Copies of this chain bind each other. A is one copy, B any other.
Amino acid sequence: MAQIKIGIIGFGTVGTGTVEALLANKAIISERLGAEIIIKKIADLDIRTERGIALDKNLLTSDVKEVLTDPEIDIVVELIGGIEPARTFILEALQNGKHVVTANKALMAEKGVELFRAAEQHKVHLAFEASVGGGIPVIHTMREGLAANRIRNIMGILNGTSNYILTEMTQKGIPYDQAVKEAQALGYAEVPPTLDVNGTDAAHKLTILITMAYGRPVSFNAIHREGIEYLTPEDIQFADEFGYRLKLLAIARDRGDQGVEARVHLTMIPRDHILGNVNGPFNAIYVDGDFVGPNLYYGQGAGKKPTASAVVSDIMDISRCIMQPETNYLAPLGRDFSQKKELVIKKMDDLEMIYYIRFYAVDQPGLVAVIAGILAKYNISIASMMQKGREVNGAVPIVMLTHEAKEKNMQKAILEINQSKEVSPGKTVLIRVETGKL
């Protein structure tokens, strides 16, 4: 199998997550890619702290040159953040003919054009999925999935910290300072939280999204930005009475010949708009294209694992490019998919689920005992029960939610319930329940 060798600069939270993803999903990644990704070197000033990963200590170096100049390394992954020295390291990597993956939003927003120029000159790839929206693959989506569209409108909740603070203020009615303290206690906000709450972080990400959408260099400083620091619970309450929720939105709108509107500020958005319902530390990007119409992408906008997901997807993309033309880039299912063994789909009978059942019965003493008895016989226990609603032909509807039960048992129980004389003729309705938990 082909090998792609990478070097990582920065072994902090995201660097650790990236290594974890490459190790934990090594088999899946190799199969999807048709190549093996080898971590050749990891550079960090601190190579002593234990990261909790079983890793050959010889991979670690405190000398970044060992990554930047190693002729075997195909892809350099920059995960230190901030403008310098990240900019210098990336430029040097590009000049050395290495492809670069970065999660660095500030750098991409403020110095992106310089980096692209170097990548173009040296004919290498520069990928930055993790710079916007954490694990949400919005850069891929803008670049490829929506490539047929003129982008008319972007509205993004791009900063999870401020969205968490706003959600707490809204749901608990607490003031800004208190919500910030809670966010800091949970690790959702830094001390001080400045760049997250004053709109700078969201404006960085918006700059990158606009660059993608319009294919032109964008001046970060031309984007108006305001934060959430001045918001009071009182204004949240008033907004609610008008039918609105408060969000820190990053907004871009194509105004044709007049240019593009771009701004980050607290925004009132209708309560029933899908963006009005993105809560907690989540991010969402709403994009309206002239053909696709409105689309929304939602997920965790930060954090070790989601960001690692984005970083590794970029490494895999570039790896596919490096392997061209031997490997079919679009082979979406790995090499020789059609020769593979069929996936085992579990039999429906064997699945375990929560069930809602509804039937009609004459409300009489002993009814529940009969039904509960039938369910118990098949090892099904009742979580809740309701007898409510209008009488039809002397019978009333009875509804139940079960605890987890086996499909096969449930089907047998239903058959038996339908045959019992206490239950009115007619089919018992069975609806399966998902709690959203795994």
A interface with B by C-beta (< 8 Å): 17, 21, 24-25, 28-29, 31-33, 113-114, 116-117, 120, 123, 125-127, 129, 135-137, 139-150, 152-153, 155, 210-212, 214-219, 222-224, 230, 232, 234-235, 237-239, 241-242, 244, 246, 249, 251, 253, 255, 258-263, 265-270, 273-275, 277, 288-300, 303, 305-306, 308-313, 316-318, 321, 324-325, 328-334, 336-346, 348, 351, 356, 358, 384, 386, 388-389, 397, 399, 401, 427, 429, 431-436, 438
Contact = CB atoms under 8 A, between A and B. Distances in A.
Given A148-B21, A268-B433, A346 B216 contact: no
A142 B309 CA distance: 12
Contacts of A155: 434, 436
Contact of A436 (B269, B308, B339): B269
Copies, count: 2
B434 A269 contact: yes
B147 A32 contact: yes
A429 B299 CA distance: 31
Contact of A432 (B126, B268, B300, B312): B268
Given A232-B429, A263-B348, A431-B239, A305 B288 contact: no
Nearest to A331: B120
B144 A313 contact: yes
Contact of A137 (B113, B141, B242, B255): B141
Contacts of A298: 274, 295-298
The interface centre, meaning the residue of A146, A242, A294, A343 with most chain B CB atoms within 10 A of its CB, is A343
A33 B27 CA distance: 33
Contacts of A434: 155, 249, 251, 267-269
Interface of A, secondary structure class, is: mixed
A232 B429 CA distance: 9
Contact of A215 (B237, B259, B340): B340
Given A305-B291, A345-B260, A238 B438 contact: no
Nearest to A332: B143
Nearest to A145: B137
A337 B116 contact: yes
A433 to B, nearest CB: 4
A61 to B, nearest CB: 24
Given A25-B290, A262-B345, 4 more contacts: A21-B148, A234-B358, A238-B388, A267-B434
A402 to B, nearest CB: 12
A79 B55 CA distance: 50
Contact of A313 (B148, B268, B293, B305): B148
B294 A299 contact: yes
A344 B295 CA distance: 25
